[in-house]
């Protein structure tokens, strides 16, 4: 056994005995980590969370919590806090009674219950709301109560399943920071499920990107964004330009790719094996320079501006280049190029190390 706090070992899950929705999952989560399971619908992330909670049983493999195999332990004996998207608060109980409930089930003394409820409510900045009913609270306040209830019995682990999905954008972003700060303050282990990549990047120590039942990549947010290991991760995390082509030559860590329309691109070799391989080049919009003022770029192409969209801090610029008319460049809103308008030809430039030659999926 490793010293990981949560461990999935060769875990499969099938609902019908035929199709696996989670496939050979091996995952180690150290104590105190905020790990996000990120992926599209049907990728296996929620099933993974439900197996850890005890609401689903693995078809094969074992799950360990603090060194103990838990597959046969019922959910209520695992000492895990849960936060759901729909809050799951008892509408006929006050906020105080909602928080006291998990402590009463554990048969704590009344004085201890009062102290723990008060502490948990102050942690989510709702100290004065204990006597209100859930329906007298806003959505954000209800979600804070649900979070406090998950933390009130000081669980070893907190699981959160799309907890902010029902909130509007501004409140959702505010709650992301609040949950992140609470995690940093109390150091509890959190496993969080979302399909929202910006939410995952904001909150997590590490992110496990799921697709088709497999973890495609498990890394810190910056590594996932800057160094995606395959085309799925590159496309799912952040905005990304993709250029298809064939590998012409390989030189150490770099390669030369000929695009489907004949252009030659110098790129970083990531997970291609040999010359002649089909590849998809991944390139972030903010890594591309428009009308460069120097020649420190291995890749320079003529392009035509198709569309300009002003987004405050930057101008989202759609251009036609290398046979693609959906190529995006993020141009700072301070850019003052005189020819910067729709229909005009410009030069685009980027470095070889910013274009990642990935598998052709």
Q: Helix, strand, coil shares of the chain as percentages rounded to 5?
A: 25, 35, 40
pTM for the whole structure: 0.89
DSSP 3-state of 301:
strand
Phi, psi of 227 (to 5 degrees): -135, 60
Q: H-helix or E-strand containing 172?
A: helix 169-186
Q: Name the pLDDT band for 88 (thresholds 50, 70, 90).
A: confident
CA distance 35 to 55: 20
> How many residues can be counted in the chain?
361
The token pair at 17 is 């005995």
CA distance 291 to 298: 14
Question: Do the Cβ atoms of 59 and 20 come closer than 8 Å?
Answer: yes
Tokens 């102050």 -> residue = 122
pLDDT at 339 over 80: no
Exposed, middle or buried: residue 320 (CB in 10 Å: 0-12, 13-18, 19+)? Answer: middle
CA distance 120 to 100: 10
The token pair at 338 is 């005189």
Q: H-helix or E-strand containing 141?
A: helix 139-151
Angle between helices 139-151 and 169-186 (to 10 degrees): 20
Phi, psi of 125 (to 5 degrees): 60, 45
The token pair at 116 is 């723990």
Average pLDDT, the chain: 91
pLDDT at 320 over 70: yes
pLDDT at 1 over 60: no
Q: Name the pLDDT band for 272 (thresholds 50, 70, 90).
A: confident
pLDDT tens, position by position, 99-148: 999 888 888 888 888 889 999 998 888 888 999 999 999 888 898 899 89
Rounded mean pLDDT of 215-243? 93
Task: Give the torsion sign (CA, 90, 96, 99, 102).
Answer: negative
CA distance 266 to 259: 11
pLDDT at 2 over 70: no
Read off the DSSP letter of residue 16.
S
Domains and CATH numbers, the chain: 6-231 (3.40.50.300), 239-358 (2.40.50.100)
Task: Give the torsion sign (CA, 231, 232, 234, 235).
Answer: positive
The token pair at 103 is 């402590």
DSSP 3-state of 313:
coil
pLDDT score at 361: 66
The total of other beta-carbon atoms located within 10 Å of residue 50's CB is: 17
Q: H-helix or E-strand containing 356?
A: strand 356-358
The total of other beta-carbon atoms located within 10 Å of residue 325's CB is: 12
CA distance 247 to 245: 7
pLDDT tens, position by position, 166-213: 788 888 888 899 889 889 988 999 999 999 999 999 999 999 999 999
pLDDT at 64 over 80: yes
The C-alpha angle with vertex 164 and arms to 161 and 168, in degrees rounded to 5, equals 155
Query: How many percent of the chain have pLDDT more than 70?
Result: 98
């Amino acid at each position: 056994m490793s010293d990981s706090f949560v461990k999935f070992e060769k875990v499969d899950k099938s609902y019908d005995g035929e199709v696996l929705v989670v496939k050979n999952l091996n995952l180690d989560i150290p104590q105190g980590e905020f790990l996000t399971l990120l992926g599209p619908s049907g990728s296996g992330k929620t099933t993974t969370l439900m197996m850890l909670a005890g609401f689903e049983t693995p078809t094969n493999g074992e799950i360990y919590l603090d060194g103990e195999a838990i597959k046969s332990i019922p959910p209520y004996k695992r000492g895990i806090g849960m936060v759901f998207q729909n809050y799951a608060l008892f509408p006929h109980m006050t906020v105080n009674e909602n928080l006291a409930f998990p402590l009463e089930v554990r048969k704590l003394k009344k004085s201890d219950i009062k102290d723990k409820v008060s502490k948990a409510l102050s942690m989510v900045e709702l100290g004065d709301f204990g006597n209100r009913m859930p329906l007298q609270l806003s959505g954000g306040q209800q979600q804070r109560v649900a979070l406090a209830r998950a933390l009130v019995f000081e669980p070893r682990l907190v699981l959160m399943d799309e907890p902010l999905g029902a909130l509007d954008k501004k409140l959702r972003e505010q709650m992301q920071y609040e949950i992140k700060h609470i995690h940093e303050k109390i150091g509890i282990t959190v496993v969080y499920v979302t399909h929202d990549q910006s939410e995952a990047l904001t909150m997590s120590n590490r992110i496990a990107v799921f697709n088709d039942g497999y973890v495609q990549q498990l890394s810190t947010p910056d590594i996932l964004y800057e160094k995606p290991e395959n085309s799925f991760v590159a496309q799912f995390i952040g905005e990304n330009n993709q250029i298809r082509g064939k590998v012409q030559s390989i030189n150490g860590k770099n390669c030369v790719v000929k695009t489907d329309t004949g252009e030659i691109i110098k790129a970083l070799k990531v997970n291609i094996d040999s010359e002649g391989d089909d590849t998809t080049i991944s390139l972030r919009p903010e890594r591309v320079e428009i009308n460069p003022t120097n020649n420190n770029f291995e890749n320079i192409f003529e392009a035509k501006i198709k569309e300009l969209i002003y987004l405050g801090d930057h101008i989202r610029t759609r251009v036609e280049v290398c046979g693609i008319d959906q190529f995006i460049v993020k141009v700072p809103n301070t850019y003052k190029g005189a020819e910067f308008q729709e229909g005009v030809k410009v030069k685009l430039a980027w470095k070889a190390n910013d274009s990642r030659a990935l598998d052709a999926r």
